[in-house]
Amino acid sequence: MSELPGFGEARMVGIFGKTGSGKSILAAYLIAGFSRNPQLGILVIDPQGEFARNFPGSKMPEGKFDFHGLLKAMRGPFKIYTLENVGLDNNDYETFVRLLKKSGILSDFGIRDELKQDDAGLSLIYDLKQSNKNVTDISFDDLQNNIREILQHLYRRSYLERNVLPTFNIAVKYNKDRIESKLNIIKSLFGRPIKIDDIIKDVVNNHEVIILDISKAGSIARHFGLEEIEIKALILDKIIDKLRQSGEELFYRGLSANVLVVLDEAHRYVPNTLPKNEELARLLRRIRDSVRTTRKYGIGWMFITQSIADFDKEVYRQLHDYFFGYGLSVGADYQHIKEVTPKESLEVYRSLPDPKRTGQYVFMHTGSFSMLSTVASATFVKVFSIKEFIKYNLNMDYDEFLQKYGEEAIKRRLEKRVD
């Protein structure tokens, strides 16, 4: 499949199917196949850490599925990052201030009203930009001094003296430790070893294959009512934004980014209804916007999800390639399949048997510019077992693969070296 023209450049792919229908494994095969193109950067956003941990729960007739072995054989080295180690930019004052607000620090300093918090936030961002300090170097005193200044312009004098300053003074005098510990937690998000720019450089400039394990976001969330998924959304939003930016820069220089972004469990991050949560809503808007604009920069997307009904329809309709696995032949999901599938293929799709029973993982592939067929009809593909995949793609015996690239063999080799 790697020989198929221009896939990575800007194809939009969706893989749908009920849980256990083999979506993630199909995606892993496609990724391994596309990874053969050394000019293609691949970013796999991995919500369950499944790709990063090499599909620990999988069972195939031959044993375990070995994604890492396939990547090694077809591409060579690849990298795994965990979101816990990925930090926000040290001069991202907008996000810093947003977190100050969320954590209640602005309110601790006496700015209670939401609108006032926004005004104060804008001034604070301006001041921090002027100071040009790294976020990780901003101290309680820096913050206190900046906010004290801002309060003078924010409120009328009498109101300030009566209602705001008393709280501010208490904060400085008695609540310093508590506020400082919140501040340190926020700062810890900026001081992490891997920078978003590193990831972008890897994927866009160096055309590397990166698996980003986002199953954990780090311990910050527990500390102040900021849910873990919000932290994930916040960092993902930045990554996608930077990706778009660097794609755009290349585009204006007449170049193409040539990147594929893969997102599993996509309904969580690209849901059908706008989430109430601010960070998740921001991420949804970002992804919608990116899908629309990044195609021309050579950035393609692959979304994987169990439920079409729960997946954003704007993105759904932008896809070029649809893979439908077993189990979506009823209700709203089926209506959405009908929208993009030639009539004559629908009955075949509905009659697909349960792969758990047959051991055959079949997907219907359709799309406006199908990558598997030039005819405007659906194609049914039976997904290989790992043995078959290796035979047809690597022209290699399964035992030879295991010897050279298999997880066990590599573990054994490493152990030997340690002895």
Residue ranges binding ligand ATP (CB under 6 A):
17, 19-25, 57-60, 306, 361, 383-385
Residue 306 within binding range of Mg ion, rule CB under 5 A: no
Q: From the CB of 263, what's the least distance to Mg ion, in Å?
A: 11
Listed in sequence order, the residues at least 6 apart from 162 whose beta carbon sits closer than 8 Å to its beta carbon are none
From CA 278, how far away is CA 27, in angstroms rounded? 30
For the CB of residue 25, give the shortest distance to Mg ion in the complex, in Å: 8
CB of 278 to ligand ATP, least distance (A): 28
158 touches which of ligand ATP, Mg ion, none (CB within 5 to 8 A by kind)? none
Q: Binds 60, which of ligand ATP, Mg ion, none (CB < 5 to 8 A, cut-off by type)? A: ligand ATP
CA–CA dist 189, 363 (Å, integer):
41
Q: Interacting stretch for Mg ion, rule CB under 5 A, among 22-30, 56-64, 65-73, 169-177?
A: 22-30
Q: Is 307 in the site for Mg ion (CB under 5 A)?
A: no
Residue 130 contact, options ligand ATP, Mg ion, none, Cβ 5-8 Å cut-off depending on partner type: none
Instruction: For ligand ATP, give the closer residue by CB, 111 or 402.
Output: 402
> Is the CB of 64 or the CB of 223 nearer to ligand ATP?
64
Residue burial 349-373, b: 16+ Cβ < 10 Å; e: rest: beebeebeeeeebbbbbbbeebbbe
- Report the residue number, 222 or 382, with the smaller CB distance to ligand ATP: 382
Nearer to ligand ATP (CB atom), residue 48 or residue 107: 48
Q: Which is nearer to ligand ATP, 293 or 379 (CB)?
A: 379
> What, of Mg ion, ligand ATP, none, does residue 22 touch, CB below 5 to 8 Å by kind?
ligand ATP
Please say which residue, 24 or 290, places its beta carbon nearer to Mg ion. 24
> Closer to ligand ATP at the Cβ: 146 or 305?
305
d(CA 354, CA 274): 33
Among residues 7 and 326, whose Cβ is nearest to ligand ATP? Answer: 326
Pairing of β 86-87 and β 194-195: parallel
Task: Provide the minimum distance between the beta carbon of 24 and ligand ATP in the complex, in angstroms, as a whole number.
Answer: 3
Total of chain residues touching Mg ion, rule CB under 5 A: 1
What are the backbone angles phi and psi of residue 45, rounded to the nearest 5°?
Answer: -90, 115
User: Closest separation between CB of residue 307 and Mg ion, Å?
Assistant: 12
Return d(Cα 356, Cα 354) in angstroms, integer. 5
Angle between the N-to-C axes of helices 67-74 and 386-394, in degrees from 0 to 180, rounded to the nearest 10: 0
Q: Choose the one of ligand ATP, Mg ion, none that binds residue 417, judging by a C-beta under 5 to 8 angstroms depending on kind.
A: none
Q: How far is the CB of 65 from Mg ion (least distance, A)?
A: 12
**CB 382 to ligand ATP: min, Å:** 8
63 binds, among ligand ATP, Mg ion, none (CB under 5 to 8 A by kind): none
Q: Are 208 and 79 in contact (CB under 8 A)?
A: yes
Q: Which does 318 bind (CB under 5 to 8 A by kind): ligand ATP, Mg ion, none?
A: none
Residue of 24, 82, 246, 305 interacting with Mg ion (CB under 5 A): 24
Residue whose Cβ sits closest to Mg ion: 24
> Taking the complex as a whole, how short is the minimal distance between the CB of residue 237 and ligand ATP, in angstroms?
23
Q: Give whichever of 263 and 283 is closer to Mg ion, judged by the CB atom.
A: 263
Residue 304 C-beta: closest distance to Mg ion, Å: 6
CB 71 within 8 A of CB 262: no
Residues that bind Mg ion (CB under 5 A): 24
